Chains A and B, each alone.
Chain A
């Protein structure tokens, strides 16, 4: 397959189509809108469902309805829209109905702006709605990775009967990169054994998140928690760069990790044995691999486009063993490699011994 130039948002849309998405429901919001516009053209062309909903609230409940029929359904939005979708996400989680959602994050709080941001980290990993659940959150750093993760997302969603959220910052949605698109997958003909299709020749099925009895709701929650633990144990994904001999680790996700990688390279040239740890799953957080690297480290630098969100997960793993510094920019200001390098140098002097290669 030839590599072609694709804009992030449109590449995500085409990857979803090729992954067998049968229905898309969404609402325009920058910097995600090209995804919706692409679907508006592409889905009807293939005889599949596209609908611009009256709001993100309606969009996610349309996804919920379509997903109840056992089809691969998705939506996409950006931060303020995700806030509105939380109600639906909670119901989807409570009834274990699978779907895929894209969040092309922008700056907040409030209307904020349309600049790239990573400030939905808490929202997506910790508080995607009321009740006890976590979506599986994937954070691609390149357009190619976004395509590949999207292509596998429905298997994850249906396999685990979970929400899968692809979290990209505005940069990822807007940038053009060469991409190798995966082949078009045939649509699934079989519907899962929980799908609502009309009770023809079988007993009726019910999809609900309601358990009026305390013991029953606890039981359903415990089942959900057991599943989440299993996901946490098996789904942690990450990528490393120069990690093997690193004394100092930069931790960053999404496009920030690409900037951090340049900084790590530069730091290496300056004699600092730096490495990069890039979580691919934000939930479950790749704690085990990070823990495995910890003993060799003298310091950690977390870089994010937010006020310091993922850094809490990193501190949970690293604890007080070595200093954990944070460099963050908000509101669409993008961290620069030389800034990161300077922070690394600070970290080295703080932790006392510069490990020279």
Chain B
């Protein structure tokens, strides 16, 4: 018997608090598999966000800390500056990273901090019950945009990796999705590249991952995957927007 798949040892053998079909579970798995695959678990430190993934420290079998809402890139900067030979990554939601923590991620990117940023975009504030996020697609109804997001009122969704890709400090910027096996495999590769950028000291690596929030989208887990394709993908094209030459094609 050949083992085709076994859970990574870097994810604690615990049930998670995530809702059925939540994108965070899949992204946790990909991150743990990547760190395990690179053999860097004993020197990796995770900075957890405020958001549904606040308890990430319970699941990753790694040294972890929990940042204040949006401040993970600043905290990761502090850690990485004093522990340059360790691997530091932040795990952040879209409210955490693109809204309240916009300044922290922008400046960590400008400085080219050699950290890895795992950015889960589910288009809403999950933890607080589905309010509008900077990433909410136009027209989407949320508990704080009950009539649908209207650009003159609530502005436009933010495409963060594209924006950060313009900065010289960024070594890797990509957007991937979790709605199909093929995309999940590509997501895994992107996460690995974002960590490799750090291991080679090339600068900041960020991967945005479109993830499902069936609960706040008010759809079934299966329908949530369709939602990603129909609603999210038109606003959030997948791809690699910056790949440092040293990372190879």
Contacts and interface: CB of A to CB of B under 8 A. Distances in A.
Interface stretch (B81-89, B183-191, B207-215): B81-89
Contacts of B106: 54
Interface in B76-120: 76-83, 86-87, 103-104, 106-107
B140 interface: no
A51 interface: yes
Nearest to B63: A196
Contact of B65 (A57, A59, A201, A206): A206
Interface stretch (B40-48, B141-149, B224-232): B40-48
Contact of A67 (B42, B67, B68, B78): B78
Contacts of A53: 74, 107
B103 A23 contact: no
A200 to B, nearest CB: 4
Given A61-B68, A71-B82, A88-B71, A198 B43 contact: yes
B103 A196 contact: no
Contacts of A54: 103-104, 106-107
B66 interface: yes
Interface string B47-65: 1100000110100111111
Interface string A50-70: 010111011101111111110
A61 B43 contact: no
A57 B82 contact: no
A205 interface: yes
A199 interface: yes
A91 B65 CA distance: 11
A65 B74 contact: yes
A66 B81 CA distance: 7
A3 B65 CA distance: 43
A23 B81 contact: yes
Contacts of B107: 53-54, 58
Size bracket of the B interface: 35 or more
Contacts of A51: 77, 81
A197 B77 contact: no
Contact of A91 (B68, B79, B86): B68
A208 interface: yes
B75 A61 contact: yes
Interface string A179-201: 00000000000000000111111
B65 A196 contact: yes
Interface residues of A, number: 39
Contact of A25 (B44, B47, B78): B78
A62 B81 contact: yes
A210 B66 contact: yes
A69 B74 contact: no
Contacts of B48: 208
Interface in A190-247: 196-201, 204-210
Given A54-B107, A206-B57, A210-B66, A66 B41 contact: no
Given A196-B79, A198-B44, A210-B54, A55 B103 contact: yes
A87 interface: yes
Contact of B66 (A59, A197, A209): A209
Given A51-B77, A58-B71, A95-B66, 17 more contacts: A23-B81, A23-B82, A54-B104, A57-B103, A58-B103, A61-B75, A62-B78, A65-B67, A196-B63, A196-B65, A198-B42, A198-B43, A198-B44, A198-B86, A205-B64, A206-B57, A207-B66
Interface of B: 41-45, 47-48, 54-55, 57, 60-68, 71, 74-83, 86-87, 103-104, 106-107
30 contacts: A23-B81, A23-B82, A51-B81, A53-B107, A54-B107, A55-B103, A57-B103, A57-B104, A58-B71, A58-B107, A61-B67, A61-B75, A62-B78, A64-B74, A65-B74, A69-B78, A69-B82, A87-B68, A196-B45, A196-B64, A196-B65, A198-B86, A199-B42, A200-B42, A200-B43, A204-B62, A205-B63, A205-B64, A206-B57, A208-B66
The 10 closest A-B pairs by CB, nearest first: A65-B78, A61-B74, A65-B75, A62-B78, A198-B43, A200-B42, A54-B107, A66-B78, A61-B71, A207-B65
